[in-house]
Amino acid sequence: MTDLVVESIHKTLGPVHVLKGASFTASKGMIVALLGASGSGKTTLLRCLAGLEVPESGRITIGDAPVFDGKARIAVPPEKRNIGLVFQSYALWPHKTVAENVAFGLKLRGVATAQAAQRVDATLEKLGLGHLSERYPFQLSGGQQQRVAICRALIYEPSVILLDEPLSNLDAKLREEARFWIRKLILDLKLCAVVVTHDQGEALAMSDRILLLKDGRIVQEGSPVDIYARPAHRYTAEFLGMNNIVTGVARSQTGRAWSLEGEGWTLPGTAVGEPEPRQGEKAVAIVRMERVRTHNQPGPNRMQMTVDGSVYLGDRWEYRLIRGGLALRAQGEEPIGTGSVWCEIKPEHVWIFGDDGALAA
Amino acid sequence: MQRGEAVVFRGLALATLTVLVLAPVGLIVYQSLLSGPFFDKSAHIGLDAASFVFSDPDFWKALSTTTIFSLGMVAVAVPLGAALAFVLTRTDLAGRHWLEPLVLTPMFLSAIVLGFGYTVSMGPSGFVSLGVKKLIGFVPWNIYGLPGLIIIAGLSHVPHVYLYAASAMKNLPADLEEAARTTGASVWRVAWHVTWPLIMPALIFATALNVLLGFEAFGLPLILGDPGGVLVLTTYIYKLTTLMGVPSYHLMAVVAVVLLAITFPLVWIQRRLLARARRYATIGGKGSRATPIRLGQTLQLVGWSAIGLWLLVSVLLPIGGIAVRAFVDSWGEGVDLTQHLTLANFHDLLQVASLMRGLINTVLIAVVGGALAVASYLVIALAAHRSTSRIGGLLDYLVLLPRALPGLVIGLAFFWVFLFVPILQPLRPTLVSIWIAYLIVGLSYGLRLIQATLLQVAPELEESARVTGASIYRTWSSVVVPIIQPGLVGAWALIMITFLKEYATGVYLMANGTEVIGSLIVSLLATGALDTIAALSLISVVLTTIGMALAMRLGARRYD
């Protein structure tokens, strides 16, 4: 069943129209990621779900109950929405111990003290915090604070758990661990979760469904694989991955097949989404770096290019290749010397979009 | 309106405050437009009272004296306060860390007590004056009269300047100065070209504040100006009662309105300046501490002598004078003090019921009243806390009104309110009336203390409680208040000191049974009961010292 339904939410903050009709749904045992650059409205959308901001119009339903309805003038305050929210800063109450922080939600719901203590102990134990229950937040490391914040948000079994940039305050190593265990925990407990993040890696690794936001609208919605490998919009293609972005003139071939031409080079490619390229007009091709292969001899879909230089990145090398006005970046495991290489890109990996000039990466 | 956001509570709290602030101010304005006291049936609306006051040469004299006094006080206090701040924050003056709390002492002393202290130590027959006269044959100073008044008031207001200048200097990012040093400027050039311009906003603010304090001053002009016939606006209001023989409320109200017309713009300018100063403070880099300027032996000596002399004149002499005076029954030329040592002054206090009540009431209103006041300020601050509507802005302006009025006038206005409103009349001879007036006198200071502590609570801490299932009231009681509890205790200590040293507010409100020490001293001054005044003053100093010790123990911080 669907546990969270969000329908065309509009929200202005002062003169800024932050959300322009965002809609999506989420259900139990599923993690939805709201992905977007800063200023895309993702945090505002999360705060609207929590009831910390009141939208101007739209509808939000949690479980069976509408918690916000612009037309029916319903705006349920945050405490009556039965949600859990993990804040970016964790927002642990400094005057309460770990156990008291976690128990507060149960206390508010009238759970008997003994029973509450039992549940708190069990939950803390589950997240490996059992020995810290009498500590105060300032005595904990960042990773421990994060676990406490998550415990606190899920102990009272909320209908929806919301996580605002849950990993941004952790260092890189902990972050990779955390995105794995948080996902596992949410799926184990069959929670309905919404995660806000600006980090594509986090969104791809943690969620079942990604909503890419731009300027308060959802640009594309889909599984991580859809979003990464099958962009339906130029913004999606540019936002995710490490990309080569090439401008040239579009030439229509058969069907969806197009090519992009520049001075002394031609890239065969495919039109995959909005905006569509137009015959003879300026267009862009977006090619994921990992899709560019280099070879020592010619072959199909290969083009001879000059090596401008190589950069060592630790786990791999990055090659800078040029041909006339065309510059590409590729990667490989070995350094390559100066001279020429044959660069192979399959046409289905060259995504050609019309250039409406209004988009930035 | 959003549900669950305590709209009714916020509305009620602020409506109550609005009534508490506007009722006395409104009554003053109304009274100023009547031709006689408001209880006089024959009084009619008109400008008679105003034209009477404006035709009184004494009023104009008082107005110009007040202006000269205020500006003179600023001319003394601002340079000294700025220099003191520079020396204590920017140089390596020996002992500067423990000097810091010490230099604030004058601001905790009641002006009426301070004034009395000067009378008994440096007045024509004061202990110090007589000692000097013995040595050189004459007294080289006269504290009565405008010049003496200006110098003494100026010296006692140095901490008010020091506080702002020092905090501006402490917040000044060290790299701004270091950048100038590396460009090749000497330490003193840096002080002149970088430090000084950057703390200008703070000094301008301190100047505006002290001009205001000058217009509101009452205790010092009453004691040091009055005997020499020097009247300022506040003492002019006070003297109107005795001059006319009949209650001349309409005339007092006119003067109060004139005062408000001068001070309200000052308060408003101050508010703007403060906002600007804050903007200024955000420029610059990381706030590491600057290396202090090294003072040589000579400069150390000069610094110590200057600060020592200032502390001697503005704290030690008056307080020492009171301490001596409280334990002797006679003084003057040719009197051997050792022959007159006595505890009788204190013993007499115990015999007079009104004086005993004064002691008890003062402690009661400071300790209990202070706690209740902090609770009230907390309610008001919470009512405006994270409010989505314009309530916060309204509160800001509402607070300015009592800030612009001297305690004497606020006390007078509440006295009228309790006379004027029939259902309030039974409260007039109780401590409730005095407490409410004190509450409004301390409003802007107290509210600022509480709001500053509330600012330290990150919004997510409250939001996370709401999301977890707590109503807004539960969030306040379970999260916000426990977190700011240390700040509340500190605020209580500071409000306690403010209430302990208050003397002007009770002058009119005080009734049989509701005496407070400060106002008792004011009324005793007319009778010349110096023995009693000395004993009361010493008790007041001791109480303030206890309050200060408590405040420091509780880690209170001043936020103004």
Whether residues B442 and B559 fall in one domain: yes
Structural domain includes residue B330: no
Tell me the per-residue pLDDT of A19-40, one tens digit each, with 9 for 90 and over.
998 899 998 889 999 999 988 8
Instruction: List residues bridging with A162 in a β-sheet.
Output: A85, A194
pTM, entire model: 0.86
Sign of CA dihedral B137, B143, B147, B153: positive
Vertex B96, ends B93 and B101: CA angle to 5°? 155
| Residue B124 within any structural domain of the chain | no
Tokens read off for B358: 């004064």
Structural domain range at position B354: 1-27+344-560
Inter-residue contact A7 to A23 (CB < 8 Å): yes
Chain A hits for B456, Cβ within 8 Å: none
B17 and B39 co-located in one domain: no
Residue B276, pLDDT above cutoff 80:
no
B13 and B48 co-located in one domain: no
Q: Which of B252, B271, B303 is the last residue of a domain?
A: B303
- Residue at B122 is within a domain: no
pLDDT value at position B244?
63
Per-residue burial over A288-307, b if 16 or more Cβ lie within 10 Å, else e, is bbebbbbeeeeeeebbebeb
ipTM of this predicted structure: 0.83
The residue ranges of every structural domain in chain A are 2-235, 242-354
Do residues B443 and B547 both lie within one domain?
yes
pLDDT at B3 over 60: no
At A250 the pLDDT is: 86
Query: Residues B531, B444: one domain?
Result: yes
**Other residues' Cβ atoms within 10 Å of the Cβ of residue A360:** 6
pLDDT at B124 over 70: yes
Residue A354's identity, in one-letter code, is: G
**B234 found inside a domain:** yes
Give yes or no for residue B558 having a pLDDT over 50.
Answer: no
- Subunit contact A108:B469, Cβ cutoff 8 A: yes
Q: Do the domain assignments include residue B150?
A: yes
How large a percentage of chain B has pLDDT more than 70? 93
Residue B320 lies in a domain: no
- Two structure tokens written together for B345: 């002054």
CATH topology for the A2-235 domain: Rossmann fold (3.40.50)
| Residue B430 in tokens | 């109780």
Q: For residues A50 and A78, is the Cβ–Cβ distance under 8 A?
A: yes
What CA–CA distance (Å, rounded) separates B105 from B560?
15
- Does A166 touch chain B if contact means CB atoms closer than 8 Å? no
Closest-CA residue to B277 (of B174, B207, B381): B207
For chain B, the residues whose C-beta falls within 8 A of a C-beta of chain A are 2-5, 458, 460-461, 463-472, 474, 478-479, 482-483, 485
Cβ atoms within 10 A of the Cβ of B481, count?
Answer: 16
Residue of A nearest to B386 (CA): A52
Q: What mean pLDDT value characterizes chain B?
A: 86
Q: CA of A162: which chain B residue's CA is closest?
A: B467
Same domain, B471 and B503: yes
Distances (CA, A) of B219 to A149, A154, B328: 56, 62, 24
Touching B: A residues 121-150, CB under 8 Å: none
Residue B123 DSSP one-character state: S
Do B370 and B264 sit in the same domain of this protein?
no
User: What's the sign of the alpha-carbon dihedral A68, A72, A76, A80?
Assistant: negative
Query: DSSP readout, A128-147?
Result: T-GGGTTS-GGGS-HHHHHH
Amino acid code (one letter) for A342 = W
Q: Does residue B438 sit in the same domain as residue B389?
A: yes
Calculate the CA dihedral of residues A227, A233, A239, A242 and round it to 10 degrees: 80
Q: φ and ψ at A268, to 5 degrees?
A: -75, 135
Between A and B, how many residue pairs show a Cβ–Cβ distance under 8 A? 79
User: B258 and B387 share a domain?
Assistant: no
- Decide if B471 contacts A78 (C-beta within 8 A): no
- Strands of A160-164's sheet in order across: A83-86, A160-164, A192-197, A30-36, A209-214, A217-222
Q: Report the pLDDT value the prediction gives residue B245, as an integer from 0 to 100.
A: 62
> What is the reported pLDDT for B446?
92
Based on the domain organization, do B451 and B510 belong to the same domain?
yes
Report the CATH number at residue B213. 1.10.3720.10
Q: At what angle do helices B344-351 and B530-553 cross, to 10 degrees?
A: 90
Which tens digit of pLDDT belongs to each residue from A119-175? 999 999 988 898 999 999 999 988 899 999 999 998 998 989 999 998 888 888 888
Say which residue the tokens 């000395």 belong to: B534
Torsion of CA A226, A232, A235, A240, to 10 degrees: 20
| Segment (H or E) for B488 | helix B481-501
- Whether residue A81 lies within 8 A of chain B, CB to CB, comes out as yes
Model pLDDT for residues B434-443, shown as the tens digit of each residue: 999 999 999 9
Inter-residue contact B554 to B490 (CB < 8 Å): yes
What is the maximum span of chain B, computed from C-alpha positions, in angstroms?
80
Contact B467 A109 (CB under 8 A): no
Residue at B371 is within a domain:
yes
Of B220, B188, B236, B225, the closest CA to residue B86 belongs to B188
Number of structural domains (chain B) is: 2
Give residue B19's pLDDT: 92
CB contacts of B466 in chain A (<8 Å) are: 51-52, 77-79
Answer yes or no: do B507 and B425 share one domain: yes
Pairwise CB contact (< 8 Å): A76 & B3 = yes
Q: What is the DSSP letter of B45?
A: B
pLDDT per residue as tens digits for the range A284-312: 999 999 898 888 888 888 888 888 888 89
- Give how far the C-alpha of residue B432 lies from the chain's centroid of Cα atoms, to the nearest Å: 22
Q: Answer whether B401's CB lies under 8 Å from B428's CB.
A: no
Tell me, yes or no, whether B361 and B245 share the same domain. no
